Amino acid sequence: MNKAIERQQMVADRNEDLDVFGVADDELEAAVQVFHVRKGRVVGRKGFVLDKVEDLSEFELTGRILEGFYAEPPPIGMPKQVLVPWDPEDLELYQGWLSDLRGSAVTIRVPQRGEKRTLQETVAKNAKEELVRHRLKRASDHNSRAKALNELQEYLGLPEPPLRIECYDMSHIQGSDYVGSMVVMEDGLPKKSEYRRFKIKSGQGNDDFRAMEEVLTRRLTAYVADKELPISERGKFSYPPQLLLVDGGKGQLGVAVKVLRDLGLDEEIPVASLAKRFEEVYVPGLSDPITIPRQSEGLYMLQRLRDESHRFAITFHRELRGKRMTTSVLDGIPGLGETRKKRLVKELGGIGAVKKASFEQLQALSWLPEAVAVAIDEKLHRPR
């Protein structure tokens, strides 16, 4: 038992001293986890969340983390090796600095394989989980949400805190399977029951502006129509957003302003756009972006909403693309109806696996008649 326990505790050779860094980050923050390994055993760990006050590359971020962490050498002493997910920008400079702190050589490296790579991936997984916990805690805190809504009112010049925010995004690949998404946040929390997905009908090709115009027109036209009905007959979207947010820069903002103006809603519904590259916020009437402090609750809320709309749009796009690919390849095969088609794709692990499947693999499926297996094989591998 003692030997078994000892093997479980050992993560490296007995003579190895390591500090292993794992990082998970977004545009605003980075969660860092550090495992201290001495004589091959994990003897301590530390975690912290770092504010990214400037736009950093992965290599620059590694340097900032090392500078902050080793500003005061750890109480358990400096290790011989420091394992990181990315090399710092000036590797020799940082190695020289850490070597001076230790009094002997310290190497910094990115593990590529073996036990050290596995250990680094474990630490990175811990960092990712910590970032998720940090974001959920921040998002669920009532005071943080109230502060975020008040900040948005102040920075964007809104008449009231935006208790209902709607965010829109587009997704496609070279103009195919074009979709739009609408996600909703009320009182600072996602309201998933009112998320909506849109298939683009206008056949505009690879044109994000026309797709955005179609989605916003469809949603806001429904709102205008609902306003004319008695309250008891109105639908879910009879309430306008206190802020309409679009993913993109000045171009997307211009589209949203045009739709609101055409429908006579430009004085009723405030609008803004959030450009991903530098987290710049644009509003109508100003050529330059509004500066919202990078660590403010308001910018964090906009970023989280934009990321959620992007995720929702991409998920819908993948669903449509998967259905189209399945239909185009397996459509028209005698005996292969929708039920069998779905089961075939599911059991073989995707449409790509169906394309590669041999006749013997198809024949081995007990529920698939041999005549249908023959038809599939002829369609995919031996077309007449």
DSSP states of 312-360: HHHHHHHHHHHHHHHHHHHTT-TT--HHHHHHHHHHHTSHHHHHH--HH
Lowest mean pLDDT among 75-79, 119-123, 165-169: 75-79
Q: What sign has the CA pseudo-torsion 220, 270, 278, 136?
A: negative
Identify the CATH assignment for 2-138 out of 3.50.50.60, 3.90.420.10, 3.30.420.10, 3.40.1170.60: 3.30.420.10
Q: What is the pLDDT of residue 384?
A: 41
What pLDDT score does 320 carry? 54
What's the rounded mean pLDDT across residues 3-27? Answer: 73
Instruction: Give the pLDDT band (50/70/90) at residue 157.
Output: very high
Q: Tell me if 181 sits within 8 A of 223, measured CB to CB.
A: no
pLDDT given for residue 68 in this prediction? 86
The residue ranges of every structural domain in the chain are 2-138, 160-320, 331-380
What is the structure's pLDDT at 152?
95
Domain 2-138 and domain 160-320 have a common topology:
yes
Axis-axis angle for helices 297-330, 142-156 (nearest 10): 90
Most confident of 37-51, 81-95, 163-177: 81-95
**Does pLDDT of 123 surpass 70?**
yes
Q: At residue 325, does pLDDT exceed 60?
A: no
pLDDT confidence bin for 29, thresholds 50/70/90: confident
SS (H, E, C) 233-265: HCCCCCCCCCEEEEECCHHHHHHHHHHHHHCCC
Q: Which CATH number fits domain 160-320: 3.30.360.10, 3.30.420.340, 3.40.50.300, 1.10.1580.10?
A: 3.30.420.340
What is the identity of the amino acid at 357?
A
What lies within 8 Å, CB to CB, of 161 at 6+ separation is 149, 150, 152, 153, 242
What value does the mean pLDDT take over residues 282-308?
88
More confident residue, 232 or 2: 232
Q: What is the mean pLDDT of residues 178-206?
A: 81
7 pLDDT higher than 60: no
Mean pLDDT computed over 342-362: 84
- The answer to whether the CB of 42 falls within 8 A of the CB of 17 is no
Q: Is the pLDDT of residue 1 over 60?
A: no
Calculate mean pLDDT across residues 347-367. 85
- Is the model's pLDDT at 69 over the cut of 70? yes
The average pLDDT across 124-134 equals: 91
Model pLDDT, residue 382: 60
Tell me: the pLDDT tens digits for 326-336?
556 777 788 88
Q: What is the mean pLDDT of residues 86-115?
A: 91
Q: Is the pTM above the cut of 0.85?
A: no
Task: Pick the range with the lowest mean pLDDT from 170-174, 195-199, 255-259, 288-292.
Answer: 170-174
Among 82-86, 94-98, 167-171, the least confident range: 167-171
Flag whether pLDDT at 275 surpasses 90.
no
pLDDT band for position 293 (50/70/90)? Answer: confident
